[in-house]
Amino acid sequence: MINIISSTATKASKGLKKNARKPGEDNLRWFERNYPNDETAVVVLLGGVSPAAFRLRVAQSHVRHTLDPSSWSHAVLLGERQSDIGETVVYEISLEPAAGMGFPAPTNGLQEAVLKSYASAAEYPNIAILGVPVSLSEVLHSQERFRMQRAVLDTVDLMLRWLAFVWGAASAGNPLLENHGIPSAAMLDVVFGAAGFDLTPGLESRASCPEAIWQSAKWWHEYYEKQNLPALTGVFFDKHSFLPTVEQKATRTRKR
Amino acid sequence: MHIELHPRAAPAKTLRVWLGLFDTTTVRPLRWFLDGVETQPQSLRPLSSVRSDAMLPAGANPSSVRRVFSGVYEFGGLRPDTVYNVTVHADGVSGATNIRTLPEHIPALLDGTFNVLLVSCYHSHEDAAGLAGIIVSRLPASAKPHLSLLMGDQVYLDLPTLQNFSGEEDWLAMKFERDYVTNWRGDRGYAKILAAAPSVCVSDDHEYWNNFPHPSPMIGNSLTASGRTRWRRAATALQEGFQRPYPASPEQPFMLEVQPLSFFIPDQRSERAEDRSRAMTTQAIEMMKSWVERSIRLRHYPVFVTGQSLYATAVGSLKGAVADYELPNYADYPFVMRELAKFADAGLPLLCLTGDVHWGRVTRTRDVRTQHPAMYEIISSPSSLVTTVGFDQVSAITGWFSSLFGKPKAWPRHSDAERPPDFLASDVLAERFRNDMLHGQRGNHVALLQFARNGGALDFRVTYVPISKDRAIGKPSVVGPFQLRQQ
């Protein structure tokens, strides 16, 4: 069982706005239109449609009280914005990195890519860009230290657990059910936590995942306000879903 | 003469040290040095004999009786989280130790952890090799404790069970002093635990006798009022001389802040009323009220440390009289629990730490009104299980037979952890706080709590370190990490 608490908020955050992709627009153009203007750190959520992304989205259904698949399969931290937005550095722990896994141990699994890796709207139909109210330099400093601190969170171990699940190896079960977070989101949780920001207040453990970050942005704004902290803000487009085709009757639930 | 120095818990910019002069007949003039510089500390307990002259054998000349003299001293105006060398000279003999002051704040997630060692129930007779001290002293650098909470039964003054105890106060005081010397003196066994980090001692029944202050059928002296009074006086003198966490007392609970944690450590044993009208003194209750109010106001995460579990249920009068009454058997328990429930009202999760029960356990308690974790209880017990005449022999025989059939039983004398009640203090708090047992630990062990700040939350995990030479049995168990988060 996953220990995730529902927020008591009855209305979704007004700081999170939907902005549809224009016809023919790729994700980079969408990012350009919606990139935050301030100095805060930026987290991007991605909802992919590859077999691995499908497995990850379904695995996170246990974090949703509706038990339907998440819109999100991946979460990354952006570096300083570059004039060519596609060249903006992405800090992540991907289970299918374009450049291959290499030897992940020396960096605690942390990988660097560029944002244009996620340009394809067909491969990543769901996108969200979230402003996290912490200075980017602090988060990047944490991210540097994270590479040396496997004792705090061993993401190499998480990668192996999640690869086993995603690839269906032997009898590998859903690691979230044993409180093992999805590596990239779990890394972000630690990196932001060390920089002083609680990215997933609904979680009681470090079993973070993109869906938990999404729920923080959408439903935990009142928690941040209560702590006298600015909440997460951002823009999203989540048209793609793996929803069941026949809906159950008689359950009135809040769409998360 | 021999000198021992043991670090004591103190606020971050302060260093406290317990000084023991062993095998001496009188107070000696002291010269103190801090990092090589002669420094005069403040005295919290002036150097004095742990056995007053009145507790010496009749007719003995106090100036010729070798005994222990102890004092507690404090150095102020220091840097937090810094190692200082403390040296003391007394009459040509010296003692020295290195002590790290406590940090002011819990470190952030990637900057290390604040480590608290939890130890209780140490019977030296069952740890002749001093294994508990060796294992604690060999904890890896990242797990070295900053603070030790010694949560009761640091000595077993009422053992051995089959020994014929005199009823004379001087005999009792001398016997008790010997028990303390066994654990407090030297560089092995329990003394290594005392040396591991600044510590706070919590008294439980065996600092006096089983089920103190009530009569115990196994303790002949406890069966008469005069016998209890003499024993109590002698045990109290020794408790003050070796364990009391000065400047605290049963009236003034020990309090400590390592922000955002706030520890409250009352003595719920030494001033228990025989009629069970209270476990804490009236003044301590008042201080608890102030602590609850202050912690809520400052949004500190509260830590309540006791010698017995708050999660216990009241025992019947027969079991209470034969074994040990539980905290719910005392009339101030409802007040204590209602005060602690105020933290849940304020959205502040509480940590309860204790020992006593001879097994380890981690319990999470949810507030059914919010579904948020409202409390965690961590039990660490025992570090060296006390001898139980009769039961141990039966367990040994059962264990031997099991091994014949290829099923050697680890820790044959120990019990598995008991499950907590479904609801915490349901007589007082109804069914508001639901308990989930997350881990049970069997066998001798110590536990290490490691804290780190994670955004506005506080991460912690519990590592149970078995006290065993067997590699398979001695493998530590990690429980967590969990997050304490204000709501």
Q: Which pLDDT score is estimated for B355?
A: 96
Q: Which residues of B37-76 are buried (b: 16+ CB within 10 A; e: fewer)?
A: eeeebeebbebebbbeeebbeeeeeeeebebbbbbbbbbe
ipTM at complex level: 0.82
Distance CA B361, CA B416 (A): 9
Per-residue model confidence (pLDDT) at position B397: 61
Token pair recorded at residue B389: 């005449």
Whole-number pLDDT of residue A75: 98
Look at A192 and B455 and tell me if their CB atoms are within 8 Å.
yes
Q: What is the pLDDT of residues A214-245, one digit of tens each?
A: 999 999 999 998 888 899 999 999 999 998 77
- Is residue A5, in this structure, part of any structural domain at all? no
A–B CB contacts, 8 A cutoff, strictly below:
63
Asked if the structure places residue A3 within a domain, the reply is no
10 Å CB burial of residue A164 (0-12, 13-18, 19+) is: middle
Q: What are the tens digits of pLDDT across the range B73-106?
A: 999 999 999 999 999 999 999 999 999 999 999 9
Nearest-angstrom CA–CA distance, A216 and A198: 9
- Inform me whether the C-beta atom of residue A205 falls under 8 Å from chain B C-beta atoms: yes
Q: Does A65 touch chain B (CB under 8 A)?
A: no
Among B409, B413, B408, CA closest to B385? B413
Please give the tally of structural domains in chain A.
1
What CA dihedral angle connects A193, A196, A201 and A207, to 10 degrees? Answer: 0
pLDDT for the residue numbered B287: 98
Task: Indicate whether A9 belongs to any domain.
Answer: no
Q: Is residue A4 part of a domain?
A: no
pLDDT at A98 > cutoff 60 = yes
Q: Considering the domain boundaries, does residue A32 fall inside one?
A: yes
Instruction: Grade residue B396 by pLDDT with cuts at 50, 70 and 90.
Output: low
**Distance (Å, rounded) from C-alpha A7 to C-alpha A217?**
11
Element (H, E) at B191: helix B190-196
Give B161's pLDDT tier (boundaries 50, 70, 90): confident
Strands A111-114 and A126-135: unpaired
- Residue A7 resides in a domain: no
Q: Is B316 exposed, middle or buried (0-12, 13-18, 19+ CB in 10 A)?
A: exposed
| pTM score of the predicted model | 0.91
Residue A95 included in any domain: yes
Note whether residue A144 is domain-resident: yes
Cβ contact, residue pair A196, B110, below 8 Å? no
Helix H or strand E segment including B395: helix B391-404
Inter-chain contact B485–A201, Cβ cutoff 8 Å?
yes
Query: What's the rounded Cα separation, in Å, for the pair B233 and B228?
Result: 8
Read off the amino acid at residue B148.
S
B455 contact residues in A (CB cutoff 8 A): 192-193, 195-199
Sort out which chain A residues have CB atoms less than 8 A from B110's CB and list them: 142, 145-146, 149, 152, 190, 194
Residues 6-25 of A with CB under 8 A from B: 6, 8
Name which of B105, B106, B110 to mutate to probe chain A: the one with the most chain A Cβ atoms within 10 A of its Cβ. B110
**Amino acid letter for position B252:** Q
Distance from CA of A68 to the nearest CA of B (A): 22
- Is-contact B40 B121, C-beta < 8 A? no
- A5-14, B50-59, B300-309: lowest mean pLDDT where? A5-14
Please determine, for residue B17, whether its predicted confidence score (pLDDT) is greater than 70.
yes
Question: Is the CB of residue A201 less than 8 Å away from at least one CB of chain B?
Answer: yes
Query: What residues contact B158, with CB distance under 8 A and at least 6 apart?
Result: B165, B206, B208, B209, B210, B216, B218, B219
Cβ-based neighbours of A21, under 8 Å, separated by 6 or more? A27, A30, A121, A127, A237, A239
- Give the mean pLDDT of chain B: 93
pLDDT range class, residue A154, cuts 50, 70, 90: very high
Are A198 and B371 inside 8 Å of each other by CB?
no
Residue B16 near residue B198, CB atoms below 8 Å: yes
**Residue range of the domain that includes A65:** 16-255
User: With bands split at pLDDT 50, 70 and 90, how would you rate the model's confidence at B403?
Assistant: low
Answer whether A229 touches B (CB < 8 Å).
yes
For residue B399, pLDDT over 90 is answered with no
Residue appearing with tokens 């039964």: B153
